[in-house]
């Protein structure tokens, strides 16, 4: 490296790093500081309480339940979104009947590609309203209306989708997956298109079926994209605040009876409604540590040998 280049690079980095430290790192440190106090959130008076907030946190059934719900989302959101997106992407790009001259998508694949992307264009707030109508708990809801017409559910006792402890989490999961599939479909499609066709054609000549060419060729060559998708979906799974707080019952959502609670909703309720802001900051710190662990783990666990082509 030429002389002076470091200084040149550092000059460019100074502003972004300063902004990053001021608006990201410093608040983290402040939060940790507040998490050791009994701060009530509406003024700058508080006492130092040591690790009391943290000991209380691990005896808080609501928060511990919320952690489990986040972990559940963390497993099922990426798995189901990626599997469905991969399947659709494969069908759109290489799933068509083999005609003379090579590999192509199913009929109408260009049309589907656009349609699948629609949900991604909607904001989460609109999604919440939309699915509020789908899951509505009386005959006016889309699902209930359908089930009542089909005679599967009686009109006097419709399914209260978001008010059933055993259904609510899955109902939310469907919304996230529905929203995400389109985006990852496009991501995987783009990656698939850059896989050289001759590899598929060679496989075809050797007599490989669709399943074989998917598992032996497509998936290994897409691994980098899948890994990125996993990390991004991890973000959605650790957060979930908007959907849970708008779609489920209770202040900041989480109902019925804490069965759909996630860490962010418990934190906001304690922070704003109960005025236990120091305690909420402790939750924030725990969230930070957990997300750190998750991201490191994700990147480690999915590390594979890279195939160059």
Among 127, 128, 234, 266, binds another protein (CB under 8 A): 234
CB 308 to another protein: min, Å: 6
Among 156, 205, 206, 305, binds another protein (CB under 8 A): 156
Q: What does the H/E/C string look like for 92-148?
A: HHHCCCCECCECCCCCCHHHHHHHHHHHHHCCHHHHHHHHHHHHCCCCCCHHHHHHH
**17 touches another protein (CB under 8 A):** no
**288 touches another protein (CB under 8 A):** yes
**43 touches another protein (CB under 8 A):** yes
Task: Determine the size of the site formed for another protein (CB under 8 A).
Answer: 83
CB 100 to another protein: min, Å: 26
**181 touches another protein (CB under 8 A):** no
**145 touches another protein (CB under 8 A):** no
**160 touches another protein (CB under 8 A):** yes
* Region 190-219 residues binding another protein, contact defined as CB under 8 A: 191, 194-196
Q: What is the chain's alpha carbon radius of gyration, rounded to the nearest angstrom?
A: 24
**130 touches another protein (CB under 8 A):** no
| Cα–Cα distance measured from residue 271 to residue 259, given in angstroms and rounded to the nearest whole number | 20
**189 touches another protein (CB under 8 A):** no
CB 42 to another protein: min, Å: 4
| Cα–Cα distance measured from residue 130 to residue 247, given in angstroms and rounded to the nearest whole number | 10
**251 touches another protein (CB under 8 A):** yes
- Closest Cα to residue 244, out of 230, 234, 226, 259? 259
Residues written for the chain: 309
Distances (CA, A) of 140 to 135, 145, 149: 9, 6, 12
Among 105, 141, 180, 182, binds another protein (CB under 8 A): 141
**% helix / strand / coil in the chain, to the nearest 5?**
70, 0, 30
Which residue reads 């130092």 in tokens?
A: 48
CB 207 to another protein: min, Å: 26
**26 touches another protein (CB under 8 A):** yes
| Cα–Cα distance measured from residue 7 to residue 226, given in angstroms and rounded to the nearest whole number | 37
CB 126 to another protein: min, Å: 16
**68 touches another protein (CB under 8 A):** no
CB 130 to another protein: min, Å: 14
Q: Which is nearer to another protein, 5 or 100 (CB)?
A: 5
* Region 69-128 residues binding another protein, contact defined as CB under 8 A: none
Q: Which is nearer to another protein, 98 or 272 (CB)?
A: 272
Tokens of 216: 């032996």
**27 touches another protein (CB under 8 A):** yes
| Cα–Cα distance measured from residue 67 to residue 61, given in angstroms and rounded to the nearest whole number | 10
**64 touches another protein (CB under 8 A):** no
Distances (CA, A) of 157 to 148, 149, 160, 246: 10, 13, 9, 24
**284 touches another protein (CB under 8 A):** yes
| Cα–Cα distance measured from residue 134 to residue 241, given in angstroms and rounded to the nearest whole number | 20
């Amino acid at each position: 490296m030429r002389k002076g280049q470091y200084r040149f690079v550092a000059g460019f980095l100074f502003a972004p790093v300063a902004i990053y430290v001021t608006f990201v790192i410093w608040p983290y440190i402040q939060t940790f500081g507040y998490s050791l106090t009994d701060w009530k959130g509406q003024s700058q008076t508080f006492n130092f309480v040591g690790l009391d907030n943290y000991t209380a946190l691990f005896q808080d059934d609501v928060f511990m339940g919320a952690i489990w719900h986040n972990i559940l989302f963390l497993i099922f959101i990426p798995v189901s979104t990626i599997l469905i997106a991969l399947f659709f992407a494969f069908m759109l790009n290489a799933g068509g009947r083999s005609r003379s001259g090579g590999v192509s998508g199913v009929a109408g694949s260009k049309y589907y590609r656009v349609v699948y992307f629609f949900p991604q264009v909607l904001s989460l707030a609109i999604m919440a309203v939309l699915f509020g109508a789908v899951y509505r708990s009386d005959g006016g809801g889309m699902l209930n209306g359908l089930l009542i017409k089909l005679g599967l559910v009686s009109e006097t006792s419709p399914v209260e989708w978001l008010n059933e402890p055993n259904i609510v989490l899955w109902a939310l999961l469907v919304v996230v997956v529905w929203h995400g599939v389109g985006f990852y479909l496009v991501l995987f499609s783009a990656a698939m298109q850059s896989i050289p066709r001759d590899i598929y054609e060679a496989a075809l000549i050797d007599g490989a079926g669709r399943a074989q060419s998917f598992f032996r060729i497509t998936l290994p060559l897409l691994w980098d994209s899948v890994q990125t998708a996993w990390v991004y979906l991890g973000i959605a799974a650790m957060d979930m605040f908007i959907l849970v707080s708008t779609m489920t019952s209770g202040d900041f959502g989480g109902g019925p009876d804490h069965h759909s609670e996630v860490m962010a909703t418990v934190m906001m309720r304690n922070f704003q409604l109960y005025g236990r802001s120091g305690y909420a900051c402790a939750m924030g710190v725990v969230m930070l540590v957990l997300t750190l662990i998750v991201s490191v783990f994700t990147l480690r666990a999915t590390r594979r040998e890279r195939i160059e082509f």
